[in-house]
Amino acid sequence: MIKNDEPAYYVIPKESFVAERRVFKQGEEYPVYRISGGFCLVAENGEFNFTKKLFSKVLHDWELEVVEDDY
């Protein structure tokens, strides 16, 4: 899976949490990259690769706010 150089967008967790030892802090922006077959979500100390279908479920279940890249 090849990660693009620029994030597709960012996500912001509503609350801090840990998933499979990867840390997400409330209010912080985390980049999401398009990869072959899905998305790569980068956490404080690691990353997750998700299929497109699973990633939409993750956004909902983990209560992640999507922020478009306006920088």
Q: Is the pLDDT of residue 71 over 60?
A: no
Q: Is the dihedral of CA 19, 25, 27, 29 positive or negative?
A: negative
pLDDT level of residue 5 (50, 70, 90 thresholds)? confident
Q: Are 28 and 42 in contact (CB under 8 A)?
A: no
Tallying the residues shown for the chain, one arrives at 71
Report the percentage of the chain scoring pLDDT > 70: 90
pLDDT tens digits for 39-68? 999 999 999 999 999 999 999 999 999 998
CA distance 40 to 42: 6
| pTM attached to this predicted model | 0.87
Model pLDDT, residue 3: 62
> Which is it for strands 22-24 and 17-19: parallel, antiparallel or unpaired?
antiparallel
Which domains are present in the chain?
Answer: 9-67 (2.30.30)
Alpha-carbon span 5 to 37, nearest angstrom: 16
Mind listing the pLDDT tens digit for each residue in 14-36?
Answer: 999 999 999 999 999 999 999 99
Token reading at 49: 């690769």
